[in-house]
Structure 1
Amino acid sequence: MSSTKFDVIVLGTGPGGYVAAIRASQLGLKVAVVEAEELGGICLNWGCIPTKALIKSAQVFEYINHAADYGISVDKASVNFEDMIKRSRDVAAGMSKGVQFLMKKNKIEQLLGWGKVKPGKKVEVEDKDGKKTEYSADHIIIATGGRSKELPALKIDNKKIVGYRKAMTLDKMPKKMVVVGSGAIGVEFAYVYRSIGVEVTIVEFLDRIVPNEDEEVSKTLEKLYKKKGIEIMTSAEVTQVDTKGSGCKVTVKTKGGEEVIECDLVLSAVGVVSNVENCGLEDVGILVDKGKIKVDEYYKTNMPGYYAIGDVVAGPALAHVASAEGIICVEKIAGQHPDPLDYNNIPGCTYCIPEIASVGYTEAKAKEAGYELKVGKFPFSASGKASAAGAKDGFVKLVFDAKYGELLGAHMIGSNVTEMIAEIVAIRKLETTGHELIKTVHPHPTMSEAIMEAAAAAYGEVIHL
């Protein structure tokens, strides 16, 4: 007979929820999780993990098509779209099973169904048959995540106008698609579909693609994407999509007037909204501001015993942020003294090819903040490892405070840079100076040498430029 009383109940098992649950269990608390869909949430099932599997398939196809560049002859490679999608789903299913194993290993009870918080530190769970069961806990953590944002002119019908979920499980490969939005989701899918032969147009409302990144990164990606044959429209807005015919007619308003693009499919990648509806917040009196649950630095809401983490609170909607918040939240609940999260030292990664990784201030934002700067840049075209790998596109750019040598920000575009950014996050956490970074011996030949060389470039000591 399962219990109805716990120390901690977590609503949602994405990378915020399941990580919080495991850490709470490690700290000796009796824990339950509530999940309406698959364990692992959007990240494991419909986001971070399956998209990376699709990107890898697209990259392998690209390698094969450019095999001659490496002295290898390959005849007539072709994409099996169904198998590519199947591999992505199998990878996601394997990861979800891994979370299932972790739940059992950590003796966490799984309550399957739709969860709603109720007053008096209670949670009501409605299963798929409509049966409702009430549970109680001293601490209830809301980690219900987010979903695709919908614009009035882009109503998702999952036939011709799709969000990211449908974009990774299409029945057949489109010939031509329009991607609306050029954040991580938009540029990643644009890469995947263009690489396997789809004609792709990106429409971005702001004046450059990946608009949250450093301006030089945006310019480099735009140049490389155009070289791949991706059409890019910036300072552009989709005003309507006519889906009446066999395909779509997308009306795009630009500074030069209106243009109609015909395509088979439109991907809406205009951001994420929090899942704060229909989970009982109003009944409990939990405050929501601009679609986000209000919390303090340890993720307490205004109501004692109720907490919120991940995409439902303010801050970057990133898996690793949700996990970090979950750990801090439960460590505080368990009576430990964790440091609050430093939101200015959160790495952001975009897994298009070439990859993008960044942390901290962009050069423009650092100037705005009043810092005097030393900026160093090292192109991968000057890297031996990059040349050997055939991956010479991109650069590492480091932004230092000229006065104290503090590393204010790092911006990278290139092969495997998402694996390199963690060094910068650690350096910033440890308050390492530019001079210390220059004197940190990096292995040769590696892509990571570019970090040391960019630091040296900022201080006029670069060797290989």
Structure 2
Amino acid sequence: MAYDVIVVGSGPGGYVAAIRAAQLGFKTAIVERESLGGICLNWGCIPTKALLKSAQVFEYISHAQDYGVSVEGAKHDFDAIIKRSRGVADKMSKGIQFLMKKNKIDVLAGFGKLNASKELEVTAADGSVTKHTAKHIILATGARSRELPSLPIDGKKIIGYREALTLPAQPKSMIVVGSGAIGVEFAYFYSALGTKVTIVEFMDRIVPVEDADISKELEKSFKKKGIEVMTSSSVEKADISGNGVKATVKTATGEITLEADILLSAAGVATNIENIGLEALNITTEKGKVIVDPYYKTNVDGIYAIGDIVPGQALAHVAMKEAVICIEAIAHKEGKFAHQPAVLDYGNVPGCTYCTPEIASVGLTEKAAKEAGYEIKVGKFPFSASGKASAAGATEGFVKVIIDAKYGEWLGTHMIGANVTEIIAETVTARKLETTYHEQLDTIFPHPTMSEAVKDAIEVALGEAIHL
């Protein structure tokens, strides 16, 4: 078959690219070897949030007495929680199927691979191969769990995130290696249900990409929940010959042995760029990433790449925006779109982590702002001083803002607390509009809300705190 656009991979980047291409009048196909929606909808963003919600509900019920409500004999059903999560994922995947039909996008089931003639060969599950051509081929093949040499994943005792979503039974104990978003989200989930969890982090603090104050607050919160946190530590080897896992952990003071039912390897992701034909066309890669221009074109005409396989943050919302920019740039060149799209500002991308308490951030950390040479004002407003947070029983955490002292530029916001992932978009929009603290102080925030803590934090930075 001949198409205008073929997209390889149907995750957040892939399916968005296909839909936008169809909207702009391109004859479009999408290639997927598993379920539509990719890792995010089926094995990542969506099902994990369903698990986390179940854990939060269980925690609410367990602490109902704090709200004047008596609940006796509350218990959780692990199998039912897993089943609900899979149901949510299946529903979302079916939603993508509907969108493909709605937009008249052909779905090519199988594994896509480029050949030297720039044809796309699709190998179906039964081994049959079909060949397709397109003027534009977009690679959006995503990523998978990174497997550490010392921790080969067997899917039973040493697992990745996919297995963590569908364990047949709740483990009594778990070692989580890595404290990025995947690690701390699963650590919270299993701990909330009663699993004894130990986090092992190679860096000197957990969630190391976040502002240092966020790391300290999350560690304090996790320790209160009974989660053991080991930083500046690494798992050197794991023995799975017995009933569980015996992990040898190297710490600053020597080696120790940790024992648990299961070890979850959450030490990042690896890109899916093997065996997709990059070598046949001499497509440039570097450190496991496909090199692209600001509009996601590779060094080979007609071949593009987006999402986790290109440099930049490996986040679903980043892939979605890259998809739109890529397609609109193609459409503009062919006279199907009125203007060249703006390139993506990777310095204004929000990051969200959905453990409890949640984490949300955008822009420079305090350390990064100082290293960049800014003279800064820093304000931190604790949710313990928020009326809405107190009423909701969610006083954990804070909002921290970083402002350029000279010009008032809003350099960054870092939050930890209840529902902060829903609040961070305000900072992203304000920074996109090059807003300074003046406009924020002149903005009316609704009261009582958690979001007004952003304005309160700015007032703290300026030495004008009203509520603190």
TM-score, normalised relative to structure 2:
0.98
Instruction: Give the counterpart letter for 2:280 in structure 1.
Output: D
The corresponding residue for 2:59 is: 62
What is the CA deviation profile of residues 183-216 of structure 1, one whole-angstrom value per residue up to 9, with x for unaligned ones? 0000000000000000000000000000000000
What is the CA deviation profile of residues 154-191 of structure 1, one whole-angstrom value per residue up to 9, with x for unaligned ones? 11000100000000100001000000000000000000
Using the TM superposition, name which of 216-225 and 112-121 deviates more: 112-121
The corresponding residue for 1:184 is: 181
1:439 CA drift (Å) = 1.2
What SS does structure 1 have at the residue aligned with 2:216? helix
- What is the CA–CA distance in structure 2 between the aligned matches of 1:275 and 1:301, rounded to whole Å? 16
Instruction: Give the counterpart letter for 1:43 in structure 2.
Output: C
The corresponding residue for 2:190 is: 193
Correspondences of 1:146-161 after superposition (within 5 Å): 146-161=143-158
- What is the CA–CA distance in structure 2 between the aligned matches of 1:119 and 1:405, rounded to whole Å? 53
1:77 CA drift (Å) = 1.0
> Does 2:355 match 1:358?
no
Residue number among 404, 413, 416 corresponding to 1:413 in the alignment: 416
> Does 2:48 match 1:45?
no
CA contact (8 A) 1:251 1:260 kept: yes
Residue number among 128, 138, 141 corresponding to 2:138 in the alignment: 141
The corresponding residue for 1:455 is: 458
The corresponding residue for 2:399 is: 396
Residue number among 346, 358, 368 corresponding to 2:371 in the alignment: 368
Residue number among 204, 210, 214 corresponding to 1:213 in the alignment: 210
Residue number among 3, 8, 12 corresponding to 1:6 in the alignment: 3
| Gapped regions of structure 1 (runs ≥ 5) | none
CA contact (8 A) 1:438 1:453 kept: no
What SS does structure 1 have at the residue aligned with 2:248? strand
CA contact (8 A) 1:160 1:266 kept: yes
The corresponding residue for 1:440 is: 443
> Does 2:310 match 1:313?
yes
1:70 CA drift (Å) = 0.3
What is the CA deviation profile of residues 217-257 of structure 1, one whole-angstrom value per residue up to 9, with x for unaligned ones? 00000001000000000000100100000111011010111
What SS does structure 2 have at the residue aligned with 1:77? coil
CA contact (8 A) 1:6 1:30 kept: yes
- What is the CA–CA distance in structure 2 between the aligned matches of 1:20 and 1:286, rounded to whole Å? 20
1:118 CA drift (Å) = 2.0
The corresponding residue for 2:336 is: none
- What is the CA–CA distance in structure 1 between the aligned matches of 2:161 and 2:73, rounded to whole Å? 30
1:457 CA drift (Å) = 1.2
Instruction: Give the counterpart letter for 2:375 in structure 1.
Output: E
For the aligned residue pairs, the C-alpha RMSD in angstroms reads 0.6
Residue number among 324, 343, 347 corresponding to 1:344 in the alignment: 347
> Does 2:375 match 1:378?
no
The corresponding residue for 1:203 is: 200
- What is the CA–CA distance in structure 2 between the aligned matches of 1:119 and 1:415, rounded to whole Å? 52
- What is the CA–CA distance in structure 1 between the aligned matches of 2:106 and 2:198, rounded to whole Å? 46
CA contact (8 A) 1:17 1:326 kept: yes
CA contact (8 A) 1:121 1:138 kept: no
Instruction: Give the counterpart letter for 2:208 in structure 1.
Output: P
What SS does structure 2 have at the residue aligned with 1:281? coil
The corresponding residue for 2:431 is: 428
1:290 CA drift (Å) = 0.6
Correspondences of 1:297-336 after superposition (within 5 Å): 297-335=294-332, 336=339
What SS does structure 2 have at the residue aligned with 1:284? coil
What SS does structure 2 have at the residue aligned with 1:404? coil
1:121 CA drift (Å) = 3.1
> Does 2:101 match 1:98?
no
Instruction: Give the counterpart letter for 1:12 in structure 2.
Output: G
- What is the CA–CA distance in structure 1 between the aligned matches of 2:451 and 2:282, rounded to whole Å? 50
What SS does structure 2 have at the residue aligned with 1:83? helix
1:377 CA drift (Å) = 1.0
CA contact (8 A) 1:349 1:358 kept: yes
Instruction: Give the counterpart letter for 1:209 in structure 2.
Output: I
What SS does structure 2 have at the residue aligned with 1:141? strand
- What is the CA–CA distance in structure 1 between the aligned matches of 2:422 and 2:281, rounded to whole Å? 42
1:120 CA drift (Å) = 3.3
- What is the CA–CA distance in structure 2 between the aligned matches of 1:13 and 1:183, rounded to whole Å? 24
> Does 2:71 match 1:74?
yes
- What is the CA–CA distance in structure 1 between the aligned matches of 2:114 and 2:341, rounded to whole Å? 26
The aligned length equals 462
The corresponding residue for 1:274 is: 271
- What is the CA–CA distance in structure 2 between the aligned matches of 1:204 and 1:76, rounded to whole Å? 36
> Does 2:127 match 1:130?
yes
CA contact (8 A) 1:121 1:139 kept: no
Instruction: Give the counterpart letter for 1:423 in structure 2.
Output: E
1:414 CA drift (Å) = 0.4
Instruction: Give the counterpart letter for 2:130 in structure 1.
Output: T
- What is the CA–CA distance in structure 2 between the aligned matches of 1:199 and 1:80, rounded to whole Å? 17
- What is the CA–CA distance in structure 2 between the aligned matches of 1:378 and 1:101, rounded to whole Å? 44
1:462 CA drift (Å) = 1.8
TM-score, normalised relative to structure 1:
0.99
- What is the CA–CA distance in structure 2 between the aligned matches of 1:424 and 1:114, rounded to whole Å? 40
| Gapped regions of structure 2 (runs ≥ 5) | 333-338
1:89 CA drift (Å) = 0.1
1:348 CA drift (Å) = 0.1
- What is the CA–CA distance in structure 2 between the aligned matches of 1:11 and 1:31, rounded to whole Å? 11
What SS does structure 2 have at the residue aligned with 1:359? strand
- What is the CA–CA distance in structure 2 between the aligned matches of 1:93 and 1:153, rounded to whole Å? 34
- What is the CA–CA distance in structure 2 between the aligned matches of 1:458 and 1:24, rounded to whole Å? 45
- What is the CA–CA distance in structure 2 between the aligned matches of 1:401 and 1:433, rounded to whole Å? 9
1:376 CA drift (Å) = 1.1
